[in-house]
Amino acid sequence: MAATVERLTTELVVPAEETPAGAVWLSNLDLAARRGYTPTVYFYRADGRPGFFEADAVRDSLARALVAFYPLAGRLGLDGAGRVQIDCTGEGAVFVTARSERYALDDLLPEFVPCDAMRDMLVPATPAPNPPCPLLFAQLTRLRCGGVVLGLALHHSVVDARSAAHFVETWASIARGDAAAPVPPCFDHRLLSARPAPRVLYDHPEYKPEPAPSAALSAAAGAGSAYASAIITLTKAQVSALKARCAGASTFRAVVALVWQCACRARALPHDAETRLFSMIDMRARLAPPLPPGYFGNAVVRTSVSATAGEVVSSPVGYAARRALAATSQGDDYARSLVDYLEGVDAMNLPRSGISRAHLRAISWMGMSLHDSDFGWGAPAFMGPALMYYGGFVYVMQAPGKDGAVALALSLEPESMPEFRKVFAEELARLEI
């Protein structure tokens, strides 16, 4: 599939003005993030206007965005003690132009699912994610129909999803003709320093090696890291009906509850098997005092909650939603405990393997501007992850252009996905009765 896209140019885009030098210290939450790049794709339909996503305009607006977000033009580095940091070298972000004579947008969108092949086609190749690697890669692919795909890869040690959205929102606003960042970024990661006298008040199992799965689950795990992925959309009416069954639950928790229930059924888990729902919680507004609105870095913590598969499958979906709430309601004391815990371990080399076949890892991209990143030619027809890392991942996002609709990007073991799609469709149909 990679041969269906021809890469035309590769260059470094440096900030449009001189930017500060020096180093940006990274917090324990940055070091504990998955060491690697997060690839995302934005699909844009040609609107017939002149200058639609001309490479020069996209490149120039990127150079101007890198003035405010100058660490992204730097390189991952090491301080004197061997701790990872950002070296603000101003060397630039990698910008690639490409074209596809095979694909029109209406061919590609129905075929797109997050997978290695799509990532390889639409996002630039990235090096090993270790010093002194670049932090931002962008690829502008023009399709046969004139539409484009913007593929990005941002280093996760430097940004979480909300920071990535902040950067893309700023880049898009500059491309539209606005002069400056709507919210200035804050690079003071010492706001998330460990306390002088660490106080670890909680167990943090999400940052420790996972216990070996039972023999039954190991035998059913199949091809290991192989996965099948899907994009599934829930209408506004389906989301409303689902939330009505999950009293008081947010859209994210209600949707994840149904996914968790259907995944347990599709995986045919034994009723007494432990199933764990992992999540990532943005702590910016939960800290005391809250982080600045423009805090640019990793401010998310991993959380989880467990139940037996029998409890999840046999109970009304509201039960799973209440369990999801328990995984997503931590506050300042929890986050500070985690930062202090990470001070006492090798945060740069935490266990980062996949999860057991019984578990699910759910990430919310709700409430972010990723789905309406308008560079001057309209919002994307679709935005989502270009890749899933293993089976059991689910992203919950607003569906572009469909007010109130929700899109899921989901991965499961290949043998579980057909049954999941079947039972999930059945549950969605019940919601409409």
The model carries a pTM of 0.93
First to last CA, the chain: 41
State percent of the chain over pLDDT 70.
Answer: 92
Which among 60, 120, 188, 374 is annotated as catalytic?
Answer: 374
Domain boundary (157, 192, 227) is at 192
In this prediction, residue 222 has a pLDDT band, given cuts at 50, 70 and 90, of: very low
- Mark whether 160 is an active-site residue: no
| 45 and 87 assigned to the same domain | yes
- Mark whether 60 is an active-site residue: no
Nearest to 29 by CA among 92, 78, 84: 84
In this prediction, residue 353 has a pLDDT band, given cuts at 50, 70 and 90, of: low
State percent of the chain over pLDDT 90.
Answer: 75
| 187 and 226 assigned to the same domain | no
- pLDDT value of position 38: 95
Q: Does residue 427 form part of some domain?
A: yes
Which among 155, 156, 166, 204 is annotated as catalytic?
Answer: 156
Alpha helices in 37-112 (DSSP H): 55-68, 105-111
Mean pLDDT in residue range 426-432: 88
- pLDDT value of position 370: 59
What does DSSP say about strands 37-44 and 93-99: parallel, antiparallel, or unpaired?
A: unpaired
For 125-157, the pLDDT digits (tens) are 999 999 999 999 999 999 999 999 999 999 999
Residue 433 pLDDT greater than 70, yes or no = no
- pLDDT value of position 180: 62
- Tell me the angle at which helices 417-431 and 236-244 cross, rounded to the nearest 10 degrees: 80
Q: Does residue 197 form part of some domain?
A: no
- pLDDT value of position 44: 96
| 319 and 406 assigned to the same domain | yes
- pLDDT value of position 2: 46
| 244 and 342 assigned to the same domain | yes
For the chain, what is the domain count? 2
Mean pLDDT in residue range 283-290: 91
- pLDDT value of position 350: 76
Q: Would you state the structure tokens that stand for residue 165, as one six-digit string?
A: 């959205």
In this prediction, residue 354 has a pLDDT band, given cuts at 50, 70 and 90, of: low
For 372-410, the pLDDT digits (tens) are 689 999 999 999 999 998 999 999 999 877 678 999 999
8's enclosing H/E stretch is strand 6-13
| 134 and 217 assigned to the same domain | no
Q: Does residue 219 form part of some domain?
A: yes
Question: Which CATH number fits the domain that encloses residue 220?
Answer: 3.30.559.10
Is the backbone peptide bond immediately before 71 cis, with ω within 30 degrees of 0?
A: no
Residue 224 pLDDT greater than 60, yes or no = no
Residue 174 pLDDT greater than 90, yes or no = yes
What backbone phi and psi angles, to 5 degrees, belong to 201? -95, -10
| 83 and 32 assigned to the same domain | yes
At residue 235's C-alpha, the angle toward residues 258 and 433, to 5°, is 70
Check: CB of residue 311 under 8 Å from CB of residue 271. no
Question: What average pLDDT does the chain have?
Answer: 90
| 219 and 151 assigned to the same domain | no
Residue 347 pLDDT greater than 90, yes or no = no
- pLDDT value of position 344: 86
| 217 and 163 assigned to the same domain | no
Q: Does residue 48 form part of some domain?
A: yes
Q: Does residue 18 form part of some domain?
A: yes
116's enclosing H/E stretch is helix 116-122
| 212 and 324 assigned to the same domain | yes
Domain boundary (192, 220, 239) is at 192
Distance CA 297, CA 187 (A): 7
| 172 and 320 assigned to the same domain | no
Q: Does residue 199 form part of some domain?
A: no
For 407-419, the pLDDT digits (tens) are 999 999 999 999 9
Segments of 235-299 assigned E as strands: 274-282
Q: Does residue 173 form part of some domain?
A: yes
Q: Does residue 200 form part of some domain?
A: no
For 31-72, the pLDDT digits (tens) are 999 889 999 999 999 988 889 999 999 999 999 999 999 999
- DSSP secondary structure string for all residues of 118-163: HHHHHS-----SSTT-BSEEEEEEE-TTS-EEEEEEEETTT--HHH
Q: In this structure, how many other beta carbons lie within 10 angstroms of the beta carbon of residue 330?
A: 18
In this prediction, residue 349 has a pLDDT band, given cuts at 50, 70 and 90, of: confident
Residue 322 pLDDT greater than 70, yes or no = yes
For 150-167, the pLDDT digits (tens) are 999 999 999 999 999 999
Q: Check residue 75 and report its DSSP letter.
A: E
In this prediction, residue 1 has a pLDDT band, given cuts at 50, 70 and 90, of: very low
- With a CB cutoff of 8 Å and minimum separation 6, the contacts of 359 are 275, 276, 277, 278, 392
| 209 and 184 assigned to the same domain | no
Q: Domain span at residue 236?
A: 205-431
| 154 and 101 assigned to the same domain | yes
Domain boundary (170, 192, 214) is at 192
